[in-house]
Structure formats: C-alpha cells, structure tokens
Amino acid sequence: MNINLTLIGQMIAFVCFVVFCMKYVWPPIVAAMQERADKIADGLAAADRASHDLELAQEKAVERLKEAKEEAAGIVDAANKRGNQLVEEAKQAALVEAQRVKVSAQAEIELEANRAREQLRAQVAVLSLAGAEKILGATIDPKVHADMVEKLAAEL
C-alpha cells in the first residue's frame, strides 16, 4: 500500500485513454445516435403526414363517391324523364295518327255512302218508274214525271 510511481503511470494512462475516447470514441457514437434520433423523428413525422394524407384522400374519395352518386341519380332521372317524354310523344303521335286514320276512314266511308246513295238514288228513279209503270199499266213518260221522281229521290 505504498504510494509510488504507479500513481504517475496511472495518471498518464488516464490522460491517454480520455484523449483517445474524446477523439475517436465519443464523437462518432454520439453523432450516429443523434443521426438515428433525427431519422426516427423524421420517420415519425412522415408517418404522421402520411396518415393525414390518407385521411384527406379518404375524405376526397367519399366526396367523389357522393358526387358520382348524385350525378348518376341525375342521369337516371333525366333518362326516366326523357323516356316518359318519349312515351308521351309516341302516345300523342299515335293518337294523332289514329285520329287521322279515323278521319280518313270516315271520309272514305262517307264517300262510299254518298256514292252508294247516289247509285241508289239513280236506281230509285228507275225502279220507282218501273214500279209505277207496273201499277199503272202504262208507260210513264219519265220526262213528264221527272219532277215527281226527282222529289222522291231527294227524299231518300
């Protein structure tokens, strides 16, 4: 338990090790640790940002979806409207056509009827004359009784 040169030796060794540690050990380790800490902080910040971005994107997507749905609903509505309109138009057209057909048919019928009536009328004169001839047993001069026959025919 003597104090001797060991004391000096230990002091020299102490200085050497401390200097070595200060020059070659401490700075790189602390720098690496600091760098890692920064990296982790950056990573966490990036993760935060990413999750925020995701949230925004989700919100946007939901909005888009809503818009699309609305748009689709609008399109369907318009299509329905247009369909109804078409049906309506077709109906109208059909009615008009039917009317037209009806009218033309009626006109034809009338025409036919008139024609028949004319024919009938023409024949009524002859028939009535023939009938009258038979009744009277004599010929009737159509010219004499033309007035009467005409009147008769007009009554038909």
- 7 binds other proteins, rule: CB under 8 A: yes
Q: Which residues does 145 contact at the CB level (< 8 Å), separation at least 6?
A: 129, 132
Window 18-37: contact mask with other proteins (x via CB under 8 A)? x-xxx-xxxxxxxxxx-xx-
- 139 binds other proteins, rule: CB under 8 A: no
Q: What single DSSP character describes residue 140? A: -
Q: Which is nearer to other proteins, 39 or 100 (CB)?
A: 39
Instruction: For the CB of residue 19, give the shortest distance to other proteins in the complex, in Å.
Output: 9
Measured distance CA(44)–CA(114) in Å, rounded: 102
Instruction: For the CB of residue 49, give the shortest distance to other proteins in the complex, in Å.
Output: 20
Measured distance CA(53)–CA(47) in Å, rounded: 10
**Six token digits for residue 133:** 């001839």
Q: Which of 15, 57, 98, 109 binds other proteins (CB under 8 A)?
A: 15
Q: What single DSSP character describes residue 137? A: T
Window 68-87: contact mask with other proteins (x via CB under 8 A)? --------------------
Q: Which is nearer to other proteins, 13 or 103 (CB)?
A: 13
- 144 binds other proteins, rule: CB under 8 A: no
**Six token digits for residue 97:** 């056509």
Q: Residues 140, 124: contact at Cβ < 8 Å?
A: no
Helix (H, G, I), strand (E, B) or coil at 141: coil
Q: Which residues does 124 contact at the CB level (< 8 Å), separation at least 6?
A: 152, 153, 156
Size of the site for other proteins (CB under 8 A): 34
Q: Which residues bind other proteins (CB under 8 A)?
A: 1-11, 13-18, 20-22, 24-33, 35-36, 38-39
